[in-house]
Amino acid sequence: MDERMRFVARLMEGEKMAVLCREFDISRKTGYKLFNRYKHSGIEGLTDRSRRPYRHANRLPFQIEQLILQLKEKHASWGAQKIRDKIKLLHSRIQLPAISTVHAVLYRKGLVSNGGRPRYKAQGTMLSQANRPNDLWCADYKGEFMLADRRECYPLTITDFATRFLLCCDALGSTQEMFAFTVFERAFKDFGLPLAIRTDNGIPFASRSAFFGLSKLSVWWLRLGIGIERIKPGNPQQNGRHERMHLTLKKEATKPAANNLLQQQAKFDQFIEYYNEERPHQALQGRCPAQLYRPSRRPYTGLSDLEYPFHDLTITVTTCGRICFGRRKINLSAVFAGQNVGIKEVAEKIWLVSFMHYDLGFFDHETGRVECAPNPFGAKLLPMSQEENGYHLPG
């Protein structure tokens, strides 16, 4: 980030692109790419921060959030109510956060449990055999490696299964979910939407503590009409084509490692062009991936609001993953924060919670705890559509 801002700042001061690219040891193609991002999105275009398609309430001031975490560290047994009361004693003049807001801060930092729901045990899903471009994309992080400036680099890569086309390879500073959102959003804008994405069961693609292993990233994919496929744990060969690309990437673009993330990204940009347009692929009968790949006919247009006309209620999940149902607060999962879910009474005082076409679970008035429904993301997961332009979620 620092290198990118310095690079653009000096361009804005009138220095020449060619001179700066030589100084920063990047190609002019990469230089213009960064400058165009800045002109299109401002400083945000130079960062790995995400512009997620989620609703957000007003953010809590940084100082209050730090105070909450300090009190929790000092008093590990205190819950959100007690921490809020202590803040009131210490700082009587500040505007107090809601108890649910305090809980949300603790939840995001992993300092409170999710209400006793058993941890999801990854088992993998049915895997499709895609034969056309954009039927299936594969995504993964190539193993991290250290740059010359002693920072770790985590390359996030996405390929098209059928054509082996390398859609992107981004040099990231961590595997945090918000960075992955930005990478995938850029890929969707550039290439359109695939029918499904295959990953392993790690963060940020999956979550061990949420319904059916869903994460915020995979929930977003579902909202966009993208199916999710997960390989069986301990079976990387199920994503073998992608792993084979990683071997080539490691050999061609990481040894030796660059001085910093910006220069490493320049090496990755050169590798993408080489891999897609110059390197013949034996499995493609000696052709290059760029000769076979075509962008998707399904453009990325963002999200529309979810409605549930056949349910009794449509409720927006709070930022801490709760459903406000009358006077009760039902713990669902933070991966659905900002999303609309449907609530329907299926028996006396028994309510069904649904997300899109998927039944998540049931709760009653007495316990308020959501019990998981049968896993809809198992062996019958999202078969490939036979239509060229469409993808049908199961009803």
Where are the chain's structural domains? Answer: 2-46, 62-108, 137-292, 313-372
- 369 burial (CB, 10 Å; 0-12 / 13-18 / 19+) is middle
Higher per-residue pLDDT: 337 or 34: 337
For domain 62-108, give the CATH number: 1.10.10
Query: Cβ distance 162 to 275 under 8 Å?
Result: no
Q: What is the pLDDT of residue 113?
A: 53
Query: Cβ distance 241 to 158 under 8 Å?
Result: no
Q: Which CATH architecture has domain 137-292?
A: 2-Layer Sandwich (3.30)
> pTM score, two decimals?
0.68
pLDDT digits (tens, 9 = 90+) for 84-136: 889 988 887 788 887 767 876 886 777 765 444 545 566 777 888 889 999 99
The residue-averaged pLDDT of 319-332 equals 86
Average pLDDT of the residues of the chain: 83
* CA pair distance 198, 337, nearest whole angstrom: 23
Percentages helix, strand, coil for the chain (3-state, rounded to 5) are 35, 15, 45
Q: What is the pLDDT of residue 338?
A: 93
Query: Cβ distance 239 to 138 under 8 Å?
Result: yes
Q: What is the pLDDT of residue 299?
A: 95
Confidence class of residue 185 from pLDDT cuts 50, 70 and 90? very high
* CA pair distance 183, 360, nearest whole angstrom: 28
Of 205, 198, 227, nearest in space to 393 by CA? 227
The residue-averaged pLDDT of 268-274 equals 96
Of 40, 311, 387, 327, nearest in space to 189 by CA? 40
* CA pair distance 362, 343, nearest whole angstrom: 9
Confidence class of residue 47 from pLDDT cuts 50, 70 and 90? low
Highest mean pLDDT among 74-88, 170-184, 372-386: 170-184
Name the pairing type of β-strands 227-230 and 196-199: parallel
Confidence class of residue 327 from pLDDT cuts 50, 70 and 90? confident
- The three-class DSSP label of residue 263 is helix
Give the type of residue at 127: L
Higher per-residue pLDDT: 316 or 392: 316
Confidence class of residue 329 from pLDDT cuts 50, 70 and 90? confident
Q: What is the pLDDT of residue 126?
A: 82
Highest mean pLDDT among 6-20, 21-35, 134-148, 226-240: 134-148
Tokens of 308: 């549930």
Higher per-residue pLDDT: 347 or 135: 135
In this prediction, what percent of the chain has a pLDDT beyond 90? 41
Fold match, 62-108 / 137-292: no
Higher per-residue pLDDT: 333 or 194: 194
